[in-house]
Structure 1
Amino acid sequence: MKDNQNESELIKAKVVDINNHVIDFISIDYKLLAKVIHQATFLFVIEKQTFRIFCHKRSQSKQYQPGTFSTCFTGIVLESEDYRQCAKRKLIQETGLDLELTYLNSFYFESKKNKIWGQIFYTFYDGQIINFIQDPKEVEEIELMSYKEVVIREQNGEIFTPESIQALHFLNKRVLRQ
């Protein structure tokens, strides 16, 4: 068996029912995950002074939505962790930052490609984005965008992951208020 196959079989995601109760665990394979409801985190890094958010372009090597923009850093909640632990892991993995996280809310998202119970977290950051990308297999580039910029770019045809757009609207209503 190949090493990467063995690794993906060992790492399990939580499968949940429509009420977000864990009912099973499944290997992290996006073809399998697309068929079940699973848990994920949505983590927004917000620039303190301007309230712009650190959006990023997903790597071309990603299985789900390669090369598209996301308004937040996302992660699938693993068998051994809760939502907050997942958000913290993804923040460190994708940005190298270890910051305090604030919980915003939970939401359900469903499309043809994804069924997710998600929790939204956010943090403020006032540093530079130089050398911010820790793993080019995850993140291709990072851009600071205001809520309005994201909306305009999406209206003009730029593709963002749909679940990150839904999460962004929640963030805007309660935190950004743009």
Structure 2
Amino acid sequence: MPTEEIITLVDKHNTVIGEIPRRLMNFGEDYHRVTYILVFNNNGNLIVQKRTDNKAFCPGYYGVSTGGVVDSGESYLESAHRELQEELGVDLTLTSQGVFCTEGEGFRIWGKIYTCHYDEQRDGALSLQAKEVASIHEMSINYILENTDNLLFTPDSLDALRHYANKLTQPLPSDPS
């Protein structure tokens, strides 16, 4: 039987204030930490995930990044490596791009952005997590930000990309990893 996922709770300043089982989390009210990994390919484009239709948050939307909720006792970096392995089946060298805060309907997040480079020849084929990732697509940053095709992107991952593209992130002194 799988263990219950426990999430790190933080305050509006990104200071850890406790933990809570995911099933009891109020995502629209409670701040929590999330990792966002922008996975670039050899063409300089992002590998974007189409979410499965059974996801609780934004089913069927495109996620600009790989990543997810930071579990209790995990650093951002540990979470990012775990999420890459779970969602894409790879473990890549990550470069920190800083942190940001974002809020919207159904989320209050302190996110940490990482970038990495995926090369199929070097890293092998991706192995998609069937319960979360329906398909992957190659998209340029400009294509995503301009969104002339009116694709539905998860709002938090789109915000992460905007922060990355605008270089508005700042280092996180309390958690350098």
- TM-score band by shorter chain is 0.7 to 0.9
**2:153 is matched with which residue: 160, 166, 178?**
160
**2:53 is paired with a residue of what secondary structure?**
coil
Q: CA deviation at 1:167?
A: 1.0
Distance 1:30 1:61 in 2: 19
The reply on whether 1:58 has 2:51 as its aligned counterpart is: yes
The reply on whether 1:120 has 2:113 as its aligned counterpart is: yes
**2:103 is matched with which residue: 110, 114, 118?**
110
Which letter maps to 1:164?
S
The reply on whether 1:33 has 2:30 as its aligned counterpart is: no
Tell me, which stretches of 5 or more residues in structure 1 are unaligned? none
**1:29 is paired with a residue of what secondary structure?**
helix
TM-score by length of 2: 0.86
**1:24 is paired with a residue of what secondary structure?**
strand
Q: CA deviation at 1:31?
A: 5.9
Percent identity among equivalent residues?
A: 29
Q: Which residue of 2 aligns with 1:46?
A: 40
**2:5 is matched with which residue: 1, 11, 18?**
11
Alpha-carbon contact 2:41-2:119 (below 8 Å) kept: yes
1:23–1:168 distance in 2 versus 1, CA, 3 Å: same
Which has the larger share of helix?
A: 1
1:117–1:100 distance in 2 versus 1, CA, 3 Å: same
Q: CA deviation at 1:16?
A: 0.5
Alpha-carbon contact 1:133-1:139 (below 8 Å) kept: no
**1:143 is matched with which residue: 137, 152, 157?**
137
The reply on whether 1:70 has 2:63 as its aligned counterpart is: yes
Distance 1:126 1:173 in 2: 25
Q: Which residue of 2 aligns with 1:86?
A: 79
Which letter maps to 2:84?
L
Distance 1:21 1:66 in 2: 30
Q: Which residue of 2 aligns with 1:134?
A: 128
Tell me, which stretches of 5 or more residues in structure 2 are unaligned? 168-177
Distance 2:163 2:117 in 1: 16
Distance 2:57 2:50 in 1: 12
**1:87 is paired with a residue of what secondary structure?**
helix
TM-score by length of 1: 0.85
